[in-house]
């Protein structure tokens, strides 16, 4: 994935929606404002041209009235001065309307009306019979031009309205396409991953704590394979971190639950669970399970002479030596006090005796602090060994018989390994 693609995918869908909506609103508002201004300008132009057209028609009517009135005056018998005075007044009235009409046509952008650049005294000559005919023809041409210009302005107004309608439809269509694409993209990058995430969390709720690690791994796999929105990626990463923290704390709790605090060996609870499971498995598979019980010789004297902190340190050293001689599937445990239990699945008596003898020798030869004050000058252990089903038919009997072998080792002078099967009689040490 390119850097640009990653940057786009990291943009929040909400930001995209807000940004797109803002840009769309700006475009729509700008389009409406432009349309209103343009429409108002065209509407004013149409109104001016139509008004000029009507004024031209009205002016033509005034010229007709002027011609009719002049012809009547010629047929009437009246004083020459009176006739001339009335004719001059009508000419002045026509001139005033003509000047107003020319100014309006210039304001409306129409072709100039034939403007006669004459003085007030010359105007009556322009309205003479032959000139009036020419003037009327020019006026009809101007009326036709004003009519055409007014119609064209109306057409432009209709066109701009249609263009604005198409613009609005185009904007709505574009917004619909963008909204559809965003909904599809949001569904693909947000809703589908969210549904998958919810499904995984439901599974997690049904299988806590076993499924926490698997759920985090699945979420990590989904996050790298499929495309997610930045919001879903942040939520998924937060849940993954949460699951990792829970898994780490569960591991720590498991260690606390199954480990002995002083020696870091397995505790009695964990030892007992494994012993019962291994015995049942051995029954089904016709196999053997061996147990070695270990007790530190004269450890009370060591504690009394050196203190409990020195005793705890000696226990830790001894536990490390025991762990070093165990196989991966063996279960070294602290049984209680200074007594330890070594569970050997799928192991016969001979192999267990060899391991126990080697361990006894290693412990005897290892230099412990202050061991010179012990009765024999060194810290030693006694070990009792028993095997299922040779020496016991269930797990309580296996512990009991291994303990009996341990007591025999202590009774025979300590620093020994005794196998229960080799005991000719049961002796309980005092």
Domain containing 249 equals: 208-256
In-domain check, residue 430: no
Residues 67 and 152 occupy one common structural domain: yes
In-domain check, residue 263: no
Which of 35-44, 86-95, 229-238, 287-296 shows the lowest per-residue confidence on average (mean pLDDT)? 229-238
CA–chain centroid gap for 392, Å, is 61
Mean pLDDT of 350-377: 91
**Sheet hosting strand 381-388, strand order edge to edge:** 331-336, 339-345, 289-296, 381-388, 417-419
Which of 243-257, 288-302, 387-401 shows the lowest per-residue confidence on average (mean pLDDT)? 243-257
Residues 226 and 274 occupy one common structural domain: no
pLDDT number for residue 422: 87
Mean pLDDT of 90-108: 76
Domain boundary among 221, 256, 291: 256
Nearest to 217 by CA among 246, 240, 189, 195: 240
Q: Please check the confidence at residue 4 and state whether its pLDDT lies above 50.
A: no
pLDDT number for residue 55: 82
Q: Please check the confidence at residue 255 and state whether its pLDDT lies above 70.
A: no
Residues 325 and 360 occupy one common structural domain: yes
114 — pLDDT class (breaks 50, 70, 90): low
At 320-340, the pLDDT tens digits run: 999 998 888 899 999 988 999
Question: How many distinct structural domains can be found in the chain?
Answer: 3
Tell me, what DSSP letter sits at residue 420? Answer: G
Nearest to 34 by CA among 44, 42, 23: 42
Which of 77-81, 86-90, 280-284 shows the lowest per-residue confidence on average (mean pLDDT)? 77-81
Identify the sign of the CA torsion 342, 348, 351, 353: positive
pLDDT number for residue 9: 52
Of residues 24 and 419, more confidently modeled: 419
The alpha-helical segments, DSSP class H, found in 187-227 are 192-207, 212-225
Residues 368 and 332 occupy one common structural domain: yes
Residues 363 and 329 occupy one common structural domain: yes
Mean pLDDT of 379-391: 94
In-domain check, residue 427: no
Mean pLDDT of 375-380: 88
In-domain check, residue 136: yes
Mean pLDDT of 379-408: 94
pLDDT number for residue 337: 87
1 — pLDDT class (breaks 50, 70, 90): very low
DSSP tally for the chain: helices H, then strands E? 13, 5
Please calculate the CA angle 414-269-274 and round it to the nearest 5 degrees: 85
Residues 249 and 301 occupy one common structural domain: no
Which CATH number belongs to the domain containing residue 400 in this structure?
3.30.70.270
Q: Please check the confidence at residue 428 and state whether its pLDDT lies above 80.
A: no
Residues 27 and 109 occupy one common structural domain: yes
pTM over 0.85: no
pLDDT number for residue 168: 80
Considering the chain, what is the average pLDDT of its residues?
78
In-domain check, residue 77: yes
In-domain check, residue 202: no
**φ, ψ at 125 (rounded to 5°):** -65, -35
Phi-psi region of 238 (alpha: psi -120 to 50; beta: other; left: phi over 0): alpha
Nearest to 379 by CA among 396, 401, 362: 362
pLDDT number for residue 287: 93
Residues 249 and 284 occupy one common structural domain: no
Residues 245 and 141 occupy one common structural domain: no
Q: Please give the Cα distance from 146 to 19 (Å, whole number).
A: 49
Residues 273 and 127 occupy one common structural domain: no
Q: Write out the two tokens for 330.
A: 């063996």
At 157-170, the pLDDT tens digits run: 788 888 888 888 88
Of residues 246 and 324, more confidently modeled: 324
Residues 132 and 77 occupy one common structural domain: yes
Q: Please check the confidence at residue 90 and state whether its pLDDT lies above 50.
A: yes
pLDDT number for residue 370: 86
pLDDT number for residue 13: 58
**CA gyration radius, the chain:** 57
11 — pLDDT class (breaks 50, 70, 90): low
pLDDT number for residue 352: 93
In-domain check, residue 37: yes
Q: Write out the two tokens for 110.
A: 């129409």
Q: Please check the confidence at residue 362 and state whether its pLDDT lies above 90.
A: yes
In-domain check, residue 277: yes
Q: Please check the confidence at residue 8 and state whether its pLDDT lies above 60.
A: no
Question: With pLDDT > 90 as the criterion, what percentage of the chain qualifies?
Answer: 28
65 — pLDDT class (breaks 50, 70, 90): confident
Residues 169 and 31 occupy one common structural domain: yes
Of residues 38 and 121, more confidently modeled: 38
At 119-130, the pLDDT tens digits run: 445 566 666 666
Task: Please tell me which of 60-74, 246-260, 318-332 the model is most confident about, judged by mean pLDDT.
Answer: 318-332
């Amino acid at each position: 994935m390119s850097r640009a693609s990653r940057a786009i995918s990291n943009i929040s869908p909400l930001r995209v929606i807000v940004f797109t909506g803002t840009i769309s609103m700006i475009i729509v508002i700008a389009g409406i404002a432009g349309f209103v201004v343009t429409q108002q300008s065209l509407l004013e132009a149409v109104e001016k041209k139509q008004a000029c057209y009507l004024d031209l028609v009205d002016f033509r009517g005034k010229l007709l009235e002027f011609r009719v009135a002049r012809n009547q005056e010629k047929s009437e018998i009246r004083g020459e001065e009176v006739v001339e005075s009335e004719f001059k007044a009508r000419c002045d009235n026509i001139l005033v309307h003509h000047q107003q009409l020319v100014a309006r046509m210039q304001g409306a952008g129409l072709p100039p009306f034939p403007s006669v650049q004459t003085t007030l005294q010359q105007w009556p000559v322009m309205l003479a019979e032959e000139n009036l005919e020419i003037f009327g023809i020019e006026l009809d041409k101007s009326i036709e031009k004003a009519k055409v210009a007014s119609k064209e302005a109306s057409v432009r107004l209709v066109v701009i309205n249609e263009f604005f309608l198409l613009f609005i439809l185009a904007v709505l269509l574009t917004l619909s396409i963008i909204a559809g694409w965003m909904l599809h993209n949001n569904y693909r990058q947000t809703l589908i991953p969210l549904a998958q995430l919810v499904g995984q969390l439901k599974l997690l709720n049904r299988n806590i704590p076993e499924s926490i690690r698997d759920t985090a791994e699945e979420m990590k796999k989904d996050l790298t394979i499929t495309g997610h929105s930045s919001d879903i990626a942040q939520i998924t990463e937060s849940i993954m971190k949460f699951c990792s923290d829970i898994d780490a704390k569960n591991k720590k709790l498991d260690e606390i639950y199954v480990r002995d605090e002083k020696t870091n060996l397995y505790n009695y609870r964990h030892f007992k669970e494994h012993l019962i499971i291994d015995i049942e498995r051995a029954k089904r598979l016709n196999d053997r399970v061996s147990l070695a019980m270990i007790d530190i010789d004269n450890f009370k004297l060591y504690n009394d002479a050196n203190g409990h902190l020195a005793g705890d340190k000696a226990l830790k050293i001894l536990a490390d030596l025991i762990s070093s001689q165990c196989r991966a599937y063996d279960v070294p445990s602290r049984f209680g006090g200074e007594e330890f239990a070594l569970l050997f699945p799928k192991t016969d008596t001979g192999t267990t005796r060899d391991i126990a003898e080697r361990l006894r020798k290693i412990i005897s030869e290892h230099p412990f602090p202050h061991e010179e004050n012990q009765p024999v000058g060194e810290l030693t252990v006694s070990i009792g060994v028993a095997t299922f089903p040779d020496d016991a038919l269930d797990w309580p009997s296996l512990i009991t018989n291994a303990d009996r072998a341990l007591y025999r080792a202590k009774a025979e002078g300590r620093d020994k390994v005794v196998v229960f099967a080799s005991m000719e009689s049961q002796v309980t040490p005092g």
